[in-house]
């Protein structure tokens, strides 16, 4: 499989988005977000997403030059209208609004509507955590998502992710970002691109039978909720929080769209930030020092695997599945964008 440097992929993605009408700052922002996901080991939210983003542009569900605006706000709240901009642009804007409101009032809640796919939710909760805030985010999908409810075999729910960000004792916050389905849909895209099976218990085929072939999902199958009924009830809660608090269901006129609810709390409203970080550091060290179970070398904290992946991939480069490489090459050729040569094959 071909290996590229982060710079090569970021430049390629920037040029592709610019070619379909994104202003330079927006094109660069979305490209950087995708490549950062690759660097963190989350290829499901990396440049593999470029073809689906361009399909959204072609359908009119993504407006490359659009920018988000605030449609309604109070001292501690805001409704952010994405105006069908790239989701990363909307989510970054909304997070900055939430951080500033929380800094002023101690707490803030911001909803996002008419929003496209925002990438990793953890990107935004980490933004808040790095500024001394605690953040919680719930993301939902309007209309029929890819996940069946517990006991069902029909697409009803989105993957409905949740994310947290909490300052740590040093510069590395604790960041958790998980789908409430067994796997994020993007993980199936990665398996499909690599022609690999998915783990048992992840999907059902269109007849409701268990399958490990990702093609069965893309032929009308369904993803399953994580942890059975527990993941299902969490998914429903996220669906209502992310999807309906802001009233976004009334604005999903262009088909599939995403809704998000971000809550940010300023720790200094409760106690001095440095005091919290010292106490949190003591607790985190105790967790890290726990005796590893058989088959594990160590206990890792949320966010630690991503930071390690980034250090490694900054040195060794980012490997793309051949199918993704071919797709990006075809897109680049169609748009008149130069396709970089891989560092190695």
Total domains present in the chain:
3
- Residue segments in the chain with a per-residue pLDDT below the cut of 50: none
Token pair, residue 276, equals 């919290």
In a domain, 291, yes or no: no
In a domain, 26, yes or no: yes
Q: Name the phi and psi angles at 60, rounded to 5.
A: 90, 5
Q: Where are the strands (E) in 100-223, listed by range?
A: 107-115, 133-141, 162-166, 174-178, 203-204, 210-211, 222-223
In a domain, 284, yes or no: no
pLDDT of the residue at 251: 64
Percentage of the chain surpassing pLDDT 70? 98
In a domain, 304, yes or no: no
Same-domain pairing of 213 and 159: no
Helical H segments across 20-110, by residue range? 24-39, 50-59, 87-105
Cβ atoms of 179 and 159 within 8 Å: the answer is yes
Same-domain pairing of 124 and 26: no
Token pair, residue 154, equals 């029909």
Same-domain pairing of 29 and 98: no
Cβ atoms of 124 and 163 within 8 Å: the answer is yes
In a domain, 294, yes or no: no
In a domain, 283, yes or no: no
In a domain, 289, yes or no: no
Same-domain pairing of 49 and 113: no
Q: Number of helices (H) and strands (E), helices first, in the chain?
A: 11, 12
Same-domain pairing of 149 and 240: yes
Query: Looking at residue 256, which CATH number applies to its domain?
Result: 3.30.1370.60
In a domain, 331, yes or no: yes
Same-domain pairing of 53 and 71: no
Same-domain pairing of 256 and 139: yes
Look up the pTM and report it: 0.94
Same-domain pairing of 247 and 146: yes
Range of the domain at 33: 1-61+317-345
Taking the C-alpha atoms of residue 264 and residue 101, their distance in angstroms, rounded to an integer, is: 9
Same-domain pairing of 217 and 345: no
pLDDT of the residue at 258: 85
Which residue, chain included where needed, has tokens 């605006």? Answer: 69
Closest Cα to residue 141, out of 175, 177, 181, 109?
A: 181
Token pair, residue 292, equals 């590893």
Same-domain pairing of 167 and 217: no
Query: Looking at residue 39, which CATH number applies to its domain?
Result: 1.10.1530.10
pLDDT of the residue at 247: 84
Partners of 239 in the β-ladder: none
What does R_g of the chain's alpha carbons equal in angstroms?
Answer: 20
Same-domain pairing of 108 and 239: yes
pLDDT of the residue at 256: 65
Partners of 70 in the β-ladder: 80
By CB atoms closer than 10 A (0-12, 13-18, 19+), residue 147 is buried
DSSP character at residue 225: B
pLDDT of the residue at 145: 85
Same-domain pairing of 207 and 177: no
């Amino acid at each position: 499989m071909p290996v590229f440097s982060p710079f090569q992929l970021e430049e390629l993605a920037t040029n592709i988005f610019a070619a379909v009408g994104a202003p330079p700052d927006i094109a660069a922002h979305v490209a950087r977000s995708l490549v950062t996901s690759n660097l963190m080991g989350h290829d499901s939210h990396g440049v593999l997403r470029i073809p689906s983003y361009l399909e959204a542009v072609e359908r009119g569900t993504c407006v490359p030059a659009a920018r988000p605006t605030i449609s309604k706000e109070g001292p501690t709240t805001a409704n952010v209208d994405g105006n069908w901009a790239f989701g990363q642009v909307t989510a970054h804007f909304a997070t900055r609004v939430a951080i500033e409101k929380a800094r002023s009032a101690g707490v803030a809640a911001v909803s996002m509507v008419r929003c496209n796919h925002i990438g990793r939710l953890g990107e935004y909760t980490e933004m808040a955590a790095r500024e001394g805030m605690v953040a919680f985010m719930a993301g939902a999908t309007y209309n029929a998502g890819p996940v069946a409810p517990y006991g069902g075999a029909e697409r009803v729910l989105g993957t409905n992710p949740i994310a947290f960000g909490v300052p740590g004792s040093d510069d590395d916050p604790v960041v958790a970002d998980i789908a409430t389905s067994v796997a994020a849909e993007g993980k199936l895209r990665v398996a499909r691109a690599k022609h690999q099976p998915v783990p048992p218990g992840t999907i059902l085929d269109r007849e409701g039978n268990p399958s490990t072939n990702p093609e069965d999902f893309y032929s009308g199958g369904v993803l399953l909720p994580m942890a059975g009924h527990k993941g299902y009830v969490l998914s429903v809660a996220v669906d209502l929080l992310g999807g309906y608090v802001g009233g976004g269901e009334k604005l999903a006129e262009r088909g599939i769209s995403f809704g998000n609810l971000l809550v940010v709390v300023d720790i200094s409203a409760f106690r001095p930030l440095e005091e919290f970080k010292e106490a949190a550091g003591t607790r985190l060290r105790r967790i890290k020092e726990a005796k590893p179970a058989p088959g594990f070398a160590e206990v890792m904290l949320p966010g630690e695997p991503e930071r390690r992946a980034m250090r490694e991939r900054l040195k060794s480069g980012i490997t793309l599945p051949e199918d993704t490489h071919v797709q990006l090459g075809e897109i680049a050729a169609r748009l008149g964008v130069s396709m970089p040569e891989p560092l190695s094959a």
